[in-house]
Amino acid sequence: MVQPTSSKTFNDPFSIVSHEMSNLAKSIANLIGSGHPTLNRVSSYYFEAEGKNVRPLIILLLSKCLLEIPIEKRDRIPIDTEDVNTQAYFRGTPPQTSIAGNSVDNSMSPLAILHGINPKVILDPLSKPMEDLPQFENVNGILPKQRRLAEIVEMVHTASLLHDDVVDLSDSRRGRPTGNIAFTNKMAVLAGDFLLGRASVAIARLRNPEVVELFSTSIANLVEGEFMQLKNTVINSNEDVVINDGEKKSIPKMTGKVPTKQHDYSVKAPNDVDHETNVRAAFEYYLHKTYLKTAALMSKSSRCAAILSGAHDDIIDNCYDFGRNLGLCFQIVDDMLDYTSSEKVFGKPSQADLKLGLATAPVLFAWKQRPELGDLIARKFDQPGDVEIARKAVEECKGLEQTKIMAEDYRNKALENLRKLPESDARSALEFLTNSIVTRTK
């Protein structure tokens, strides 16, 4: 294991960026408000509960860590100096230019157009003049665009939770009813769409085309990953049939008018190729799905934080790799906890993956030793006794232990990425956070 090398070790990574984290919910509230009170209620519902807030924490700590890079080595883009404590940020003479001199709160279109049909009634907080929004004192030297980035990533993540809970028919999250249960499926889906719309406006106001491209791609990745999980199909001999919620559904055949491309992880039926090839393809499918669903947002937002800092390409690439490895580790641990944590501790129904027909790492490791599990995986554990058989196989084949080793491997890679960044308190906090992901219980 790679150990922190800084002179300080932090048991509470939040302490490094406590000012920004304590204002996170308030800042997001100013981004998501609408003129409709019910929409406000649904959109803010998940932000009221105590969540992990891992994603914004990573962005803020990474942004602070990048401050240690000398300003002359952060000239890939002109740095936005607006609202920045220059003494804390630049540690010397600040640059004379900023990115268009625009705040993340300033609109690019005329307010009368953004307000809609009645421009005298301001219902849209995103289109309010800048002075109407609260301005938080900057104490850490983190750029306003990086602070806004942390807020955006949590909005996008929360939108995905609202949608996931509808798709997965979930009934509890963070210790209380999910949005689809507390409100309705329609309201939860629409609120998720609304959050993505709000986040898209905020992304545009970062005024960096590269960042806009990365974030937009990460949103598309979330959907692609969800479709891979919906299909699930480490094994599927019939591409025209999907199994969801215990029901087999024939999907319309392609007409050929719109050319479509098959993904690269099409796995044959168990008897068509050798077992080892099928298992290897199944793990490739699983890891790619895991990247799209979880690691894409972490990796691309980490890359965005580095881009906005003005860092050079080697640092930007390393930050992306860190987010990718951390995201894969995080989701693999999540898949392991689904087997081991109680519903009360986990904050959502435990042992739900098998019931949903999902073949995650623990059962894939069991399948590697027991080829007969392939038939259960192919039918998504939808016959009586399938879930119990799979769960017992995971236990007997030490699927959880092997899954933990896989998670630790990605943890170690993430720690190696961090060692390429300047030594600092923020880096030590990131190292602690990275290590704690493997040992977490919820």
The pLDDT value recorded for residue 83 is 42
Type of residue numbered 216: S
CA pair distance 153, 206, nearest whole angstrom: 13
pLDDT at 216: 95
Q: What does the alpha-carbon distance between residue 353 and residue 362 come to, in Å, rounded to a whole number?
A: 11
pLDDT digits (tens, 9 = 90+) for 173-216: 888 999 999 999 999 999 999 999 999 999 999 999 999 999 99
Of the candidates 283, 297, 295, the residue with the CA atom closest to the CA atom of residue 217 = 297
Whole-structure pTM value: 0.86
CA–CA distance, 348 with 170 (Å, rounded to integer): 8
Q: What is the pLDDT of residues 272-321, one digit of tens each?
A: 678 898 899 899 999 999 999 999 999 999 999 999 999 999 999 999 99
What average pLDDT does this structure show over 94-111?
61
| Pairing mode, strands 172-173 and 247-250 | unpaired
Whether residue 324 contacts residue 299, with contact meaning beta carbons closer than 8 Å, is answered with: yes
Strand 176-177 relative to strand 172-173: parallel, antiparallel, unpaired?
antiparallel
Looking at the predicted structure, is the pLDDT value of residue 433 above 60? Answer: yes
Q: Return the ∠ at Cα 301 (arms to 295 and 303), rounded to 5°.
A: 100
What domains lie within the chain, and their CATH numbers?
13-439 (1.10.600.10)
From residue 58, alpha-carbon distances to 89, 165, 255 in Å are 19, 24, 45
Q: Which of 29-33, 66-70, 233-237, 244-248 has the highest mean pLDDT?
A: 66-70
Assign 52 a pLDDT band (cuts: 50, 70, 90).
confident
Q: How confident is the model at residue 1 (pLDDT cuts 50, 70, 90)?
A: very low
Res. 117 pLDDT band, cuts 50 70 90: low
